[in-house]
Amino acid sequence: MEGRPEIQPEPYYPPTYVPEPVERRPWWKGTLGVLGALALVILKFGAKLKAVLLLLPKLKLFTTSASMLVSIGAYTLIWGWKFALGLVLLLLVHEMGHVWQARREGLQASAPLFIPFLGAAIALKELGKDAAVEARVGLAGPILGSLGALVPLAIWLITGEELFQALAFFGFFLNLFNLAPVLPLDGGRAMSALTPWMWLVGYGLLVAATFAFPNPIMLLILLFGGLETYRRWKERKNPEQQRFYTLPARTRWAVAVTYVGLALALVVGMEATFLERDFDDV
């Protein structure tokens, strides 16, 4: 209509907002993947290499306390200092099980030495008078190590902190892995009290695992495990070695029950503390 000013619509501005920052979940949510498993393989198998055991006691730098600090620093670069400290303490408890039992058996055992990304190790000058001694010393590490893993488990149940849940899982996994019936792992030493045939079974399973999950670490285990198994198997008919492996039936049963019972308990512990992998949170 003439004479009436035209009304212009007001411009529309869409609402704006600043999205709140998304809170990132703790980094350890992703450490239970393949990388974490491979790291633990490195931790415990590399520590058993005889060349390392012979070399480290001669280096004054690698005392127990100093090597622990070096290892904590190295693991901190990957997992942070809290997890690194817990991991090294779990390794310490495991190795102290070997030391404690070895000295109970009258064997000379060194204090644990820590090697970044290879784990920890003790040095023994002899295996003992018979296979039962070797089995007891071998099983003492996973037994005490499993008890040590109950500490972060209890803290997790009390506080709900996933850091301690992850540490408990790693502790159970670490000790279960060491029960693999393959020399020179602790489980292979336990098999000395049962039957050397179990070494061949364990090595066959290791070959199958290497084909299923091919990687340099598994090949390394396959190589050194094969050398140790071959050496032991070759010497099995030696009269002295036959006496070493001759044990009463009740001793063999005690080792078998301990071995199977501990393995089952560790599987239950891993199931209870498992963290679902979420690679988006890595």
pLDDT digits (tens, 9 = 90+) for 219-251: 777 787 788 888 877 877 788 878 888 889 999
Contact between 171 and 152 under an 8 Å Cβ cutoff? The reply is: yes
More confident residue, 29 or 93: 93
- CA 100, 103, 43, 222: dihedral to nearest 10 degrees? -130
Cα–Cα dist 130/105, whole Å: 11
> What's the predicted TM-score (pTM) here?
0.74
What one-character DSSP code corresponds to residue 22? Answer: P
What pLDDT is stored for residue 7 in this prediction? 55
What pLDDT is stored for residue 100 in this prediction? 94
Asked if the model's pLDDT at residue 282 lies above 50, the reply is no
Provide the percentage of residues in the chain whose pLDDT is more than 90: 38
Residues in the chain: 282
What pLDDT is stored for residue 255 in this prediction? 93
Spell out a b/e string for 209-243, using b for 16 or more CB atoms within 10 Å of the CB, else e: eeeeeeeebbeebbebbeebbeebeeeeeeeeeee
Cα–Cα dist 100/140, whole Å: 8
Quick count: other Cβ atoms within 10 Å of Cβ 33? 13
What pLDDT is stored for residue 169 in this prediction? 96
What pLDDT is stored for residue 146 in this prediction? 97
pLDDT digits (tens, 9 = 90+) for 172-183: 999 998 898 888
Cα–Cα dist 88/54, whole Å: 22
pLDDT digits (tens, 9 = 90+) for 49-102: 444 445 555 554 457 888 899 999 999 999 999 999 999 999 999 999 999 999
Asked if the model's pLDDT at residue 10 lies above 70, the reply is no
Per-residue CA distances from 8 to 5, 12, 64, 184 (Å): 9, 12, 82, 87
Cα–Cα dist 62/51, whole Å: 15
Asked if the model's pLDDT at residue 15 lies above 60, the reply is no
What pLDDT is stored for residue 36 in this prediction? 53
Could you tell me how far CA 55 lies from the centroid of its own chain? 23
Name residues whose C-beta falls within 8 Å of residue 75's C-beta, 6 or more positions apart in sequence: 83, 84, 87, 88, 116
The chain-wide mean pLDDT, for the chain, equals 79
pLDDT digits (tens, 9 = 90+) for 185-205: 898 889 888 877 788 888 888
Secondary structure of residue 109 in the 3-state scheme: strand
Asked if the model's pLDDT at residue 263 lies above 90, the reply is yes
What pLDDT is stored for residue 21 in this prediction? 52
Asked if the model's pLDDT at residue 17 lies above 50, the reply is no
